[in-house]
């Protein structure tokens, strides 16, 4: 099997799953329980929070454990907008955010908030000048993804963060789900107030995540309940998942530097090989993009058809974001970049991981060439 859909999810580390099983079996008590077993679970939860904070270079009080990227984005966006609505009702985001962010903003619009959706250029990147023009005195929240999940474009997070450092009445949220461990981001120095990370994107268990909440940043919680996670995220903590995720977090960050170099080499191999296959159009920018994503159209072949054809070789790629890949509409990200609709419907996403090998990339390119020729022959 050649798995090239790592932007959708990654294969969990065996060590992370071993940790999950051990904690589930031996630390099953509720961390909120007063008895000794509950105390042991609470101590393990505290250690996990301290370890996560240390690995991310932040304070342990700034770590909120969540169920993943969707919850993290919703808690950050809705929580901040509602908490600071007394200051203003203007919000800024981009036209190419993940569905969990775009739909959250849509719900806020229904509640009377005004949202500016920044356009992107042909590389999928927002203009910092456009952002500055959109900013207003009553802007209470800016939310921009770091790395686009479909094409890999890196957004000007550093410039926006520096701009907002001098404007403390505006909260800055970054969806870092795709960029984590592939495009480094220093949370403590970036001007970021809220940052979303998802465990299953870096080989942790599904259903886990972290929302970084800078000290002093207010959030209205999404869930009413027992007040866990410092009153920000009620519900009994998923201790096995948290511990497994933190194990994966450590393992991933230990490999980050060499892993990024490896991913960059794989991306170059793809970029060199894809043009040898007739009718390819690469949508991922040549520069200013994450090293693990390549988005490409093969003219004349529908993406869904090609995905299923590659399955015959036990090779797995995707079309667009996994959260919306089952509808037959063209990618909204590619359309926002100015890609023609027919071409957008022909785009596949190839996404690698630290474990992906050069031999697997070569095998993929070979299979892609064969399947492309066969499909074009069948379609006349």
What pLDDT is recorded for position 323? 55
Structure-token pair, residue 265: 């080499």
Domains of the chain: 2-9+256-378 (3.90.1150.10), 14-254 (3.40.640.10)
The tens digit of pLDDT for each residue in 52-71 reads 999 999 999 999 999 999 99
Percent helix, strand and coil across the chain, each to the nearest 5: 45, 15, 40
The reported pTM is: 0.96
Which ranges of the chain have pLDDT less than 70? 321-327, 380
What pLDDT is recorded for position 326? 55
The tens digit of pLDDT for each residue in 155-200 reads 999 999 999 999 999 999 999 999 999 999 999 889 999 999 999 9
What pLDDT is recorded for position 188? 85
What pLDDT is recorded for position 329? 86
Phi, psi values for residue 171, rounded to 5°: -90, 135
Whether the Cβ atoms of residue 68 and residue 208 lie closer than 8 Å to each other: yes
3-state secondary structure of 46: helix
Check 323, 335, 363, 375 and give the catalytic one. 323
Q: Say whether 195 is catalytic.
A: no
What pLDDT is recorded for position 250? 98
Whether the Cβ atoms of residue 215 and residue 171 lie closer than 8 Å to each other: no
CA distances from residue 61 to 65, 301, 319, 362 in whole angstroms, order as listed? 11, 50, 38, 46
Say how far apart CA 260 and CA 146 lie, in whole Å: 16
Sign of torsion over alpha carbons 21, 23, 27, 30: negative
Phi, psi values for residue 113, rounded to 5°: -80, 150
Say how far apart CA 220 and CA 288 lie, in whole Å: 35
Among residues 6, 1, 3, which one has the least CA distance to residue 292? 6
């Amino acid at each position: 099997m050649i798995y090239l859909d790592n932007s959708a999810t990654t294969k969990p580390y065996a060590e992370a799953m071993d940790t999950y099983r051990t904690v589930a079996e031996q630390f099953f008590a509720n961390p909120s329980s007063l008895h000794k077993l509950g105390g042991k679970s609470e101590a393990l939860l505290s250690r996990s929070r301290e370890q996560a904070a240390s690995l991310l270079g932040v304070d342990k009080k700034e770590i909120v454990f969540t169920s993943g990227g969707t919850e993290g984005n919703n808690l950050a966006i809705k929580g901040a907008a509602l908490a600071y609505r007394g200051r203003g009702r203007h919000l800024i985001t981009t036209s190419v955010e993940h569905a969990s962010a775009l739909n959250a903003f849509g719900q806020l619009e229904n509640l009377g908030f005004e949202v500016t959706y920044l356009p992107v250029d042909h590389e999928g990147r927002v203009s910092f000048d456009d952002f500055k023009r959109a900013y207003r005195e009553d802007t209470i929240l800016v939310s921009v993804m770091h790395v686009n999940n479909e094409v890999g474009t890196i957004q000007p997070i550093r410039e926006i963060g520096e701009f907002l450092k001098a404007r403390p009445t505006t909260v800055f949220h970054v969806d870092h789900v795709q960029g984590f461990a592939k495009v480094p981001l220093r949370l403590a120095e970036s001007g970021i107030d809220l940052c979303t990370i998802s465990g299953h994107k870096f080989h942790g268990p599904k259903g886990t995540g972290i929302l970084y909440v800078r000290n002093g940043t207010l959030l209205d919680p999404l869930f009413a309940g027992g007040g866990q996670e410092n009153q920000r995220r009620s519900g009994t903590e998923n201790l096995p998942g948290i511990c497994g995720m933190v194990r994966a977090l450590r393992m991933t960050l230990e490999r980050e530097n060499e892993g990024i170099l490896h991913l960059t080499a794989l991306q170059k191999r793809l970029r060199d090989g894809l043009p040898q296959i007739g009718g390819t159009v690469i949508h991922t920018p040549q520069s200013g993009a994450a090293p693990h994503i390549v988005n490409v159209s093969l003219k004349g072949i529908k993406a869904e058809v090609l995905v299923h054809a590659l399955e015959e070789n036990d090779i797995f790629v995707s079309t667009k974001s996994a959260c919306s890949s089952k509808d037959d509409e063209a990618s909204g990200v590619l359309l926002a970049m100015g890609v023609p609709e027919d071409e957008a419907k022909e785009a596949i996403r190839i996404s690698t991981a630290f474990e992906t090998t050069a031999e697997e990339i070569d095998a993929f390119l070979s299979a892609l060439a064969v399947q492309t020729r066969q499909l074009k022959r069948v379609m006349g």
